[in-house]
Amino acid sequence: MGVIATVATVVLAISFMVFVTFFGRLPALRGTPISWLHKVIWVHFPNVLKSIDRRVTGGRISPACVRFGNYMMYDRHPSVLIFFLLLLSIGEILYLPTAWPQLTPLVKLTGTISIILPYLFLYLAAFTDPGYITPANHPQEMSRYPYDFTLFHPGNECHTCHLLKPARSKHCSVCKRCIAKNDHHCIFINNCVGANNQHWFILLLLSTAVLTAYGGILGVYLMAKRMNFFFPYWALLPWNANKGEGMPLKDWLVIWSWGFQNQVGMGAVTLLAGLTSPLVWGLLGYHAWLVYCGTTTNESMKWSDWSYEMREGFAYKRKMHGQRQKDLKVEPAWTRWPAETEQILVRTESGQCPAEDDQTLPGYGPWEAVWGLKDVENLYDIGFWDNLVDVLMPGYNFRDEPSGKRQRGGLRQRKKRRARRIYLA
């Protein structure tokens, strides 16, 4: 059992490190042990190593390690993408020769589909233009979303691309481009996740989650079937062994060890799939939650910052005219989005309410103190199904253009949409 335990420990450790790396900075996990571990692993521990390096070598090793780390995490290269492809392909090479002859035609068909889809969606997510903003498509990108005067304000220019920033866009320091509806840069696809490939990325997560769960469950079934053939008194659960009388845990684990070693290729991949599947399902669940909330990873970070300002008493809001006169120098006259902002949210350095007659700030009426995200609306959350349409059909027109020419989304304008309250904590 020693080899199996070692492999399981290594896989669990890697999975846990990946989980902490990707989830430790999420707003929902701030102040939790996961966030604390992220700081220990990626902030405090490197600082300790730098201190030791300064004392031992005069700081000659740290700069090289920092450059390598920055290259791996913050530069565009296919290393992690290649690793992901190798992990998929080598796992299948080890798994299939043992499993394939034991499968029924239906399982072979569904298994083939589940194997092919991750490669397809990986290719589409990695090589689809995520939404690069260029001078040629800038007017079109400006009309994708209206400014919400909370997270995104008109008139801000990207200092690198020298273009006005459309609402929900962000400049990616890795891709060196502004990305429409920038969610995040993903090293697993060596590309940004943006407006044009977000649906492929989510489908990649879904197909990979299904593949790992399918492979893990099927592998356990096939190994259990073989172990039952050689050890009739054994059962998948130790208390069900010996016809319900149970068996010592040590003996039960010894038979499991025999099962893994008897079919070592399939057994190792089954173990890997079973241990990594929860991580993939967790990533999928997180992105499904973002779709439900009508936000992105980048925007969730912004909302988290606003939440802190609100708790400290530095955030204020007031109403905006739905049919206000827009400044066409910095705002689009029309967007495909079915809602317009009805509020402006500002932060103050002193915590005191802005003057009601301040002409430098848009909006009208008195300012109200905001103490939590439940008191503000997210312009980009128009209900789960419409949020999903926006992800799956980039560029879908939710309302007609001013010319009166009916667009494919024109019929959806019948029901007036209103931005929903923030659900992020």
Q: What are the residue numbers of the active site? A: 186
Cα-only R_g, the chain: 26
d(CA 88, CA 9): 20
What pairs with residue 368 in β-bridges? 317
Quick one: tokens of 345?
């949210």
| DSSP, res 165 | P
Going by C-beta distance under 8 Å and a sequence separation of 6 or more, which residues neighbour residue 76? Answer: 174, 175, 190
d(CA 252, CA 246): 9
With contact defined as beta carbons under 8 Å apart, do 356 and 416 qualify? no
Residue 129: burial class (beta carbons within 10 Å; 0-12, 13-18, 19+): middle
| DSSP, res 324 | P
DSSP 375-415: GSEETT---HHHHHHHHHSTT--SS--TT-PPPTTGGGGGS
The upper half-sphere exposure of residue 395, i.e. CA atoms within 13 Å in the direction of its Cβ, equals 8
Among 118, 112, 135, 155, smallest CA distance to 330 is for 155
| DSSP, res 202 | H
Among 199, 161, 196, 164, smallest CA distance to 182 is for 196
First to last CA, the chain: 44
Among 57, 60, 61, 178, smallest CA distance to 129 is for 178
d(CA 267, CA 32): 35
C-alpha dihedral sign at 27, 33, 37, 40: positive
Question: Quick count: other Cβ atoms within 10 Å of Cβ 238?
Answer: 18
Question: Quick count: other Cβ atoms within 10 Å of Cβ 394?
Answer: 18
